[in-house]
Chains A and B, each alone.
Chain A
Amino acid sequence: MRAKRVFRGMHWPSLFLMLGLCLFGVMVIYSATHTSEAVDLRNAATQQAAWVGLGLVLFFVFALADYHRWVEQGWFWFGGGLLLLLLVLAFGREVNGAKSWIRFGPVGFQPAEVMKLAFLAGACALMVALRDRIEKFSTVLALVGLALIPVFLILRQPDLGSAAVFLPMCFGLLFVGGTRLRYLLIPAGVGLAGVLAIYFYVGHLGKELPFLKTYQNNRIRTFFDPNLDPLGAGWTIRQSIIAIGSGGVTGKGYLHGDQNLYGFLPKNIAYNDFIFSVLGEEWGFVGGAALILGQAGLLLCIAWIGWRAPDFTGRLLAGGVLGMLFTHFFINVGMTIKVVPITGIPLPFVSYGGTFLAVCMAAMGLMQSVWRQRHLG
């Protein structure tokens, strides 16, 4: 009886897509790490599987709870998230030049990922509070102002990739919330123009932007021409394209990606940010396209859930989750095949990384909660 109640009204397509992606992720992580010399890397697949278990618990917690409760407590969660970000800046462990981990013995997590979910709660709370003025520009400013607080803290770690996700989340919230289009499209257009201008300035003229670090400038530059520095800064993108391209239509077979096995894809990023390169090499266009379609299908499910949401809050949540997952998916897959410059953010449900996986599954739980209440509105 109880089990029946738990599963009643579930959005099954999104649940299966999510589980499928998680499973695929564990498999590819194993492939990316099983020949590694480092023990940590060899255990990655097992750890990821454990995190999938934890993620499922969170998924059901969020799915069974009423999402209104989550938004009502939004300020509390937002404050908690900021506290964690402050803690990590104070006591965090530095890994690869960034202070982004809080560890308790063997278990660690990244507050920046947790902040994505906490921000969603806070932002929704803010939007609900400002619901009557939703079309005003001041609301846009308020939300972006709210986002800039965690962005500022995350940039201090520094972690440009994670920080970059907050603005698209805002965009998703505002777009779905009903802000006037001109308030959204004009800044977005200006932002896009700015990005293009930066590409032109750095990539073609070879100048450096003063507010970015040299390696970040180099990333932009090598995005335009990976051959500029084939063994230096362009190495990763070049090797990623070789890996994926050499996979061909059907791939080289599971556990048979030479590019990965021989270490041309750096081992320390192949299983997280560049998991799609490993996947593309071993599973070919068939596997790569399946992943893209699966991710896109999941995003469409979220959009559909938002559409059918019983109220404003549920719709907002869908918009925020959609903004977050879409950004991760598009930028992560896009950077491995040179559609966007390299930004170190993971592929939802697939990349190694427990915190982000749990956050994503929790977010999907929220969506289930919205879906379960679709008739109540």
Chain B
Amino acid sequence: MLQPRRRANLSKRMTATMIVVGIAALILLQRLFVVQVVEGQKHAQTLIQQTTIPILLSPPRGLVLDRNGLPLAENRARYDVDLYVRELMGNYARAHRGRLPMTLVEVGLGEKKRKQKQVDIVKIVNETATEPLRNLGIVPNYEIDELRKHSQQRPNTPFQLATQIDFTTLSRMAERDPRIPGVQEAARPVRWYPYGALASHVMGFVGAPEEQTLETFQPEVIGKEGIEKGFEQDLEGVPGGKILKKNNLGFIMEEQGYQAPVPGHNVYLTLDVRVQTIVEGVMRRVGRGACVVMDPNSGDILAMCSVPNFDPNSFVPGGTGKSTDWKQLLTAESKPMLNRALGAYAPGSTFKTLTALAALENPAAKFTPQTVIHSPGAIEMAGRTWHDWNPDGQGSIALKRGLAMSCNTFFYQLGVRTGIESMSEMGKRIGFGQKLLLRPDGAPALAGEDPGTMPGREWMENRMAQRKKSYKTKIDAWVAEGQKSPRPKPPAVERWSDGHTANTSIGQGYVRVTPLQMAVMLSAVANGGTVYQPRLVQGVGRTTEKGTKATKEYPVAVKRGDLQVKPENLAAVREGLRAVVTEGTGKNAAVKDVEVAGKTGSAQFVTRIGGSTVKDTRTWFTGFAPLKEPKYVVIVLVEGGVSGGSTCAPLASEVLFKLFEMEKGVPPALVYQAPVVGHFHGVTASDGSYTPGDDDNGGLDGFFNWLDEGFGGGASRGLRRR
């Protein structure tokens, strides 16, 4: 029997024991509460991180198709070997008891340049993946710096260890799976332009996005120029994704939450690959130039060509081009990247069509198609002598002969009689001085369009006001500086004069027109006076299982306005343009069995090329055919040509000939086009007073400067127009 003292003692001890058990349970419960309830979310996140691999799926980019449904830009499959950095690293760590090789890598640029300690991903790849891949005949062709950057910035997206694996090697890899966690084969769409350089300025090209962000999805390529850039939002599509569950060894256990990417929308162009091929085949012979073919009855652009051009395939990341190729393209003096069809050039004599239209509609000009104007070799007007290109002149002639022979003295006088206001008004109706290649919502359909210049009195006043403004800024700065440097020179004051009007009437002076604007004018002349909105894009649509579903359709044959020229007057102008080809300066444009009408033009231009000042004549042929019920408007511009009649008319003739052959059932062969290389064969050393230092690139600004500084009494320079 226990003694009473012991009993009391025992009770205390058993109570103590129970209290200890209780306290222990409370300690565990408290800690469990912290782990599961307080920190539960954090641990759940960690679990998700270590068991899931989120994968972004790029959507296939939309196609760009011509008016007949032929793809100008499509996607080809390319086979790559992808590396999932996280997976490989995690696996390597487990295999090496958590030790990852570290290395110092230089990061940042300039001031921020510093050494950063990073996991040596290159070493890991070399130790684990390189050898098994080599055994399969796959040679990794990645850039080491790119891999380091990628593993730091985008560890969730696959990195291409090897690109453009051929299909045989790919099958071998699928057959003898090397089972390297984090390394797998992948097929991905790559942009492909099946016709190479064809319509390259319209298409533009794609490239890798410049800004790499961690958070949001970034497509592998984005449009950088042309349609590819302008319609990026439509072409891009919506990325999909899937979540892979992996086990502790890095192997994929299951797939969760697959969401298919939504392919991008297709862009349907008005271009016709056949017409484009014809045009480019002809324009290849030219060093620098542009050609636009338009349907005069709708404003649809059937072909838009600019040479020299480029092969957009060479820009595609991971594509066939070498990076040096396009660096050369970007810096070449012939500017292959410039879309000349949308560039503004002095129109020269092709502008006389407009002068004639304006004169016929201005009662003050007292001009009818039958009005005879005496046009000698030279005339005195506005205090200066104005020469014709023909020292003998044309004698007393009416409109038809004036256009046919492109008589300068005829149009000088006609222009002054008509006045600049009428001409400006007519220019505005056509769209000169404005951007024309617009979508229905007013956004440009293609970037890089130059509005050109349609000069006039108001235009001149604005110009002077701007000069004064910039002079005032200069003076203010000079005063604020304490008048240390020499006082800035006051700007030259220029007022619109009859001289300017006379110059403009032959397409010289300040006026600048793009080949596209020319096509709009000629279309209006050809179709009876309707000014159509030029259209390059028919619409945007999506390819579905049932076919194509249009999501945005751009209206057909939108009228921007009317020339407001009486039909008989318009007919007279057309007759004049026909006479150009039958008996005048554009005889070379004739096509057998087709009535071609048109107007030649050449404008002398002085520029600097390769450090020397040269004459770089801009030559034109702007025409349409057939005369009755016209189908095609063809505008040819050649830089460095001899004259419109001798350089451009034959090209236009060939284009038209082949177009009508095509209609008869002889289409051109549609082949992959190599890019056209630019040249300067047509240019000759200049005696012109080019002012060096204003613009050494010989761009349009250079020409402006040259005019500003040296034009003065401009016309008496004796520019001969043909």
Contacts and interface: CB of A to CB of B under 8 A. Distances in A.
Interface stretch (B42-50, B192-200, B462-470, B492-500): B42-50
Interface in B227-264: 245-249, 253
Interface stretch (A44-52, A242-250, A348-356): A242-250
A231 B31 contact: no
Given A178-B9, A231-B94, A292-B29, A300 B35 contact: no
B209 interface: no
Given A175-B17, A178-B6, A289-B29, A232 B98 contact: yes
Given A307-B14, A312-B2, A245 B35 contact: yes
B489 to A, nearest CB: 72
A288 B9 contact: no
Contact of B247 (A241, A263, A311): A263
12 contacts: A178-B6, A229-B98, A244-B43, A245-B36, A245-B42, A246-B47, A264-B247, A280-B36, A289-B29, A295-B25, A326-B20, A339-B27
B43 A242 contact: yes
Nearest to B24: A330
A338 B36 contact: no
Interface residues of A, number: 52
Contacts of B50: 242, 264
A369 B386 CA distance: 135
Given A229-B97, A292-B32, A300-B22, 12 more contacts: A175-B16, A178-B9, A241-B35, A242-B47, A243-B43, A245-B44, A246-B40, A246-B44, A262-B51, A300-B21, A303-B18, A334-B31
Given A312-B2, A339-B27, A285 B32 contact: yes
A284 B245 CA distance: 22
Contacts of A230: 98
B472 interface: no
Contacts of A300: 18, 21-22
A326 B32 contact: no
A262 B253 contact: yes
Interface string B1-37: 0100010011101101110111011011101110111
A296 B22 contact: yes
Contacts of A280: 32, 35-36
Interface string A292-326: 11011001100110110001100100010010001
B661 interface: no
B662 interface: no
Nearest to A308: B14
B249 A247 contact: no
Most buried by B among A172, A241, A280: A241
B144 interface: no
A175 B31 CA distance: 28
Most buried by A among B6, B27, B35, B51: B35
Contacts of A243: 43, 47
B712 to A, nearest CB: 81
Contacts of A245: 35-36, 39-40, 42-44, 46
Interface extent on B, as a size class?
35 or more
B93 interface: yes
Contacts of B47: 242-243, 246, 258-259, 264
Nearest to B30: A339
Contact of B97 (A231, A249, A326): A231
A322 B246 CA distance: 43
B202 to A, nearest CB: 52
Contact of B37 (A248, A311, A319): A248
A235 interface: yes
B21 to A, nearest CB: 5
A299 B44 contact: no
Interface in B329-372: none
Given A235-B98, A303-B21, A178 B40 contact: no
B36 A244 contact: yes
Contact of A315 (B10, B18, B28, B41): B10
Interface of A: 172, 175-176, 178, 229-232, 235, 241-249, 258-259, 261-264, 280, 284-285, 288-289, 292-293, 295-296, 299-300, 303-304, 306-307, 311-312, 315, 319, 322, 326, 329-330, 333-334, 337-339
A248 B248 CA distance: 21
Contacts of A329: 24
Given A289-B32, A333-B28, A247 B40 contact: yes
A303 B29 CA distance: 20
Given A247-B40, A337-B31, A258 B51 contact: yes
A169 to B, nearest CB: 14
A176 B43 contact: no
A339 B31 CA distance: 8
B249 A263 contact: yes
A244 B22 CA distance: 22
Contact of B31 (A232, A303, A338): A338
Given A175-B17, A262-B253, A296-B22, A241 B97 contact: no
B596 to A, nearest CB: 77
B28 A176 contact: no
A88 B517 CA distance: 101
A285 B43 contact: no
Contacts of B37: 248-249, 285
Nearest to A293: B25
Contacts of A295: 25
Contacts of A330: 24, 28
Contacts of B31: 334, 337-339
B28 A244 contact: no
A176 B98 contact: no
B93 A231 contact: yes
A311 B3 CA distance: 11
For the complex of A and B, the 6 pairs showing the least CB-CB separation, nearest first, are A245-B43, A231-B98, A296-B25, A232-B98, A307-B14, A263-B248
A337 B38 CA distance: 13
B40 A176 contact: no
A319 B16 CA distance: 12
Given A175-B13, A231-B94, A263-B249, A244 B32 contact: yes
A146 to B, nearest CB: 21
Given A248-B40, A280-B36, A289-B29, A303 B247 contact: no
Contacts of B11: 307
A262 B36 contact: no
A346 to B, nearest CB: 16
B44 to A, nearest CB: 4
Nearest to B246: A262
A178 B10 contact: yes
Given A296-B21, A303-B18, A334-B28, A246 B98 contact: no
A231 B250 CA distance: 13
A246 B43 contact: yes
Contacts of B10: 176, 178, 307, 315
B51 A296 contact: no
Contact of B21 (A175, A299, A311, A333): A299
A330 B27 CA distance: 9
A302 to B, nearest CB: 9
Nearest to B45: A246
Contacts of A338: 31, 35
A322 B16 CA distance: 13
Contacts of A175: 13, 16-17
B190 to A, nearest CB: 35
Interface string B87-118: 00000011001110000000000000000000
A296 to B, nearest CB: 4
Nearest to A298: B21
Contacts of B28: 292, 330, 333-334, 337, 339
Nearest to A325: B21
Nearest to B5: A178
B110 to A, nearest CB: 35
A176 B17 contact: yes
A339 B29 CA distance: 11
Most buried by B among A229, A262, A299: A262
Contacts of B13: 175-176, 178
